[in-house]
Structure 1
């Protein structure tokens, strides 16, 4: 459904942020894009959704195709109309509007009132708390409720693929578990593909089918989620440690990532 081939992104015509990234997502798949700060995860999503220009970024090489169409030739609204939707890091909801108004703002102008009501009810089925807080301005919702609203607003566009940038950011472990469970439910019931960018690798690898690991703008590892969970390097650097080290008896300890050798 989505294919990136050897994509490079440059900021300010100087800084090379991602360097030849290639990845593929099939219809209905859940894929995670893992890595630390500055690895190029958010830049990859913005290259797909067309949101690089406000940050003076530019795709200088490679192809991005969604359901066979060249995305680089389309403006961001046309990409949304084709079935792509991007939930940005930090939620970015309309804080001065109610949850209901946020959902209405995302619904396409060409749609009917009946279809709007159907989609609204679907969103409230997945996120009943939004219905309970219907008259509250979105800026007064909790962080978890705002994240639910951001995902619900994305669902109002009836996407084929939803890209989520750090949905766990600033949330408690219990809320992260709840939101990831709902994302999995949406994927199974609606057949919506998910591209999930996360620093919380442990939580992401529990819900996705496949994962790509980025470092310094390059894909250094990819594979099935179950296989990556068992990889000692992934465990050591992203899952809290594969083995315990007695630092009292070791003066210098530094495990070198195998892909850097």
Structure 2
């Protein structure tokens, strides 16, 4: 029986280095791929370089005095290393940054309208809204409430909904589980799986909650001190003894956010 061919990457990062203030090297030769239509996790502890990697892809480094000093980023076969952030959105890349950052004084419905691309027709916008409300019934119930009064989980749903209005080909999410109760994380991650399955949307998920992330993605990358130190299928990562001991066990090991430090074993890089 023939093996299924691996999907071509929608995104490729090749040996990318990022400098802040022309001094601090934040990521060092990072290479990752996101196959078209797949969900990929970027795992690691605080300060490992995960968020910087997403900002390099979405073009948000410049706002923080950062720049790509080496390497290249390709999206759907096109080099986007020097492309402006707003143009990357138009190409189909959407980045949901950490912290949910919705317009609190607007309703969810108004938030979705505000996120719509310029030139989107009213009928197309309404169709996108209804699709988003079908994915997130909680938002449908609160569509006319002020967003600042939504729960943390509802605000995260709204942040994802705002991204979906732009009709992205690649959806990137930075710590969507942060500060949420486990049942909400399970609900939101289940919806992301459904969107990926039904829309064929590629997803790059940055997470410290390794256990939750590895349940829904096909592959994962582990970043440590700005470098990729491990890459494999979700099943391979879950069965790796080091990952199990430090991040998938009981107590603090369940979530990268709670892990302050650890000693990497020699076999970690083997």
- TM-score where L is the length of structure 2: 0.90
Say whether 1:42 aligns with 2:51.
yes
Matched residue SS, 2:86:
helix
Q: In 1, distance between residues paired with 2:223 and 2:131?
A: 34
Say whether 1:219 aligns with 2:231.
no
TM-superposition CA deviations, 1:85-143 (whole Å, max 9, x none): 00000111111111011100111111111111110000000011111112211111000
Judging changes above 3 Å, is the alpha-carbon distance between structure 1 residues 173 and 75 closer, same or farther for their aligned structure 2 residues?
A: same
Match of 1:88 among 97, 104, 109: 97
Q: In 1, distance between residues paired with 2:240 and 2:269?
A: 15
Match of 2:68 in 1: 59
- TM-score where L is the length of structure 1: 0.93
Answer whether contact 2:107 2:143 (CA < 8 A) is retained: yes
Match of 1:72 in 2: 81
Answer whether contact 2:230 2:269 (CA < 8 A) is retained: no
Match of 1:22 in 2: 31
Judging changes above 3 Å, is the alpha-carbon distance between structure 1 residues 257 and 138 closer, same or farther for their aligned structure 2 residues?
A: farther
Match of 1:230 in 2: 239
Judging changes above 3 Å, is the alpha-carbon distance between structure 1 residues 221 and 136 closer, same or farther for their aligned structure 2 residues?
A: same
Match of 1:175 in 2: 184
**By how many angstroms is 1:40 displaced?**
0.2
Q: Name segments (4+ residues, structure 1) moved above 6 Å.
A: none
TM-superposition CA deviations, 1:164-223 (whole Å, max 9, x none): 000000000000000000000000000000000000000000000000000000000001
Match of 1:138 among 116, 124, 147: 147
Q: In 2, distance between residues paired with 1:147 and 1:176?
A: 10
Match of 2:256 in 1: none
Q: Give the superposed CA RMSD.
A: 1.6
The 5 Å alignment of 1:186-205 reads 186-205=195-214
Q: In 1, distance between residues paired with 2:19 and 2:27?
A: 7
Answer whether contact 1:233 1:257 (CA < 8 A) is retained: no
Match of 2:132 among 79, 103, 123: 123
The 5 Å alignment of 1:105-116 reads 105-116=114-125
TM-superposition CA deviations, 1:43-72 (whole Å, max 9, x none): 000000001111111110000010011212
Larger Rg: 1
* Alignment coverage as a number of residue pairs: 251
**By how many angstroms is 1:42 displaced?**
0.3
Q: Gaps (5+ residues) in structure 2?
A: 1-9, 251-261
Answer whether contact 1:9 1:57 (CA < 8 A) is retained: yes
**By how many angstroms is 1:147 displaced?**
0.2
Q: In 2, distance between residues paired with 1:255 and 1:92?
A: 35
Match of 1:148 among 154, 157, 169: 157
**By how many angstroms is 1:240 displaced?**
2.3
Match of 1:5 in 2: 14
Q: In 2, distance between residues paired with 1:71 and 1:161?
A: 14
Q: Gaps (5+ residues) in structure 1?
A: 242-252
